[in-house]
Amino acid sequence: MTQFLHRWFGRGWLSMGYLFLYIPIIVLVVFSFNSSRQDMVWSGFSLQWYAALLNDQEIISGFGLSLRIALLTACGSVILGTFAAFVLDRYQRFSGRTLFTGMVSAPLVMPEVIIGLSLLLMLVSVQKMFGFPERGMLTIWLGHTLLGMAYATVVVQSRLSEMNKSLEEAAMDLGCRPFQVFFLVTLPNIKQALGSAWLLTFTLSLDDVVLSAFLSGPGSSTMPIVIFSRARLGLDPRVNAVAALTILVVTIGVIASSLYIARAERQRSKQLAAAAKG
């Protein structure tokens, strides 16, 4: 009886947690099809707000800018984070390792307001000295990459620490050079972590408001900034529509990535089993 109560008590708390997280998202998606401009007053099913997005150049340009920055941020963060994780995991002792570790981990614990303000002050100083860069897509990308690199480093380093290092040693014994070992042995074994880090940093960049607000300039408002500015002036049904489309895109990406990672893991398990039998 006690185990039964504990099991259902745990399931109840888990269900309440999921409901708390996902009910607001479900409500937002449902009311994006509402024909009324008044939020939380259902007056009928309609696609008018999705059609209105086609004529809303501010949201379209903001979404396009956010998507470009998120793609570049994810790629840059994974590349830099992979190198940082490899150095931290494979080279346990080198001059300045403690400082390097602290610099890589600092964005994880530092408030985004502080990061955004410090980057803004630095970029303004650089611009006064050299006349470059202007605040816009480049500066936003730099800020997002700084934050995303820290998250990518944690994800990739955790996978590297679990990887069987004897595979790399065996490749070197067979005559592979260090860069060949890295690209032919290490990277294929951590590709799932790379995919996870890419998705994580892509999502972080796509919905970032604080850094984007500090680092954006005239004509470079990302989608979260546009949504935030409109929400301050009153609820706009078109915001619900663009949010629903964003959720759809992210969901498709996560599902596709999960299926790919699961398929790759099954193939890897089969190859290991075949190698063990051989």
The crossing angle, in degrees rounded to 10, of helices 137-162 and 191-206 is 150
**Does 79 have pLDDT greater than 90?**
yes
**Once rounded to an integer, what is the mean pLDDT over residues 28-43?**
76
Check residue 8 and give its pLDDT. Answer: 75
**Once rounded to an integer, what is the mean pLDDT over residues 156-173?**
83
**In whole angstroms, how far apart are CA 198 and each of 99, 142, 189, 228?**
25, 16, 16, 25
Distance CA 150, CA 133 (A): 23
**In whole angstroms, how far apart are CA 181 and each of 82, 153, 208, 236, 275?**
15, 20, 36, 54, 20
Check residue 275 and give its pLDDT. Answer: 64
Residue given tokens 């009153």 in the structure block: 234
**Angle CA 78–82–86, to nearest 5:** 175
On whether the CB atoms of residues 190 and 83 are closer than 8 A, the answer is no
Check residue 81 and give its pLDDT. Answer: 92
Distance CA 206, CA 148 (A): 11
Distance CA 63, CA 65 (A): 5
Check residue 76 and give its pLDDT. Answer: 94
Check residue 39 and give its pLDDT. Answer: 64
Distance CA 73, CA 205 (A): 7
Residue given tokens 């800020």 in the structure block: 143
Length of the chain: 278
Q: Look up the pTM and report it.
A: 0.81
Residue given tokens 């590709």 in the structure block: 191
Tens of pLDDT, residues 186-232 = 888 888 888 889 988 988 898 888 888 888 888 788 888 888 887 77
Distance CA 147, CA 257 (A): 22
Domain boundaries, the chain: 54-235, 237-277
What would the DSSP string read from start to end of 207-222? T--HHHHHH--TT---
Check residue 108 and give its pLDDT. Answer: 87
CATH superfamily to which 54-235 belongs: MetI-like (1.10.3720.10)
Mean per-residue pLDDT of the chain: 83
**Once rounded to an integer, what is the mean pLDDT over residues 243-266?**
79
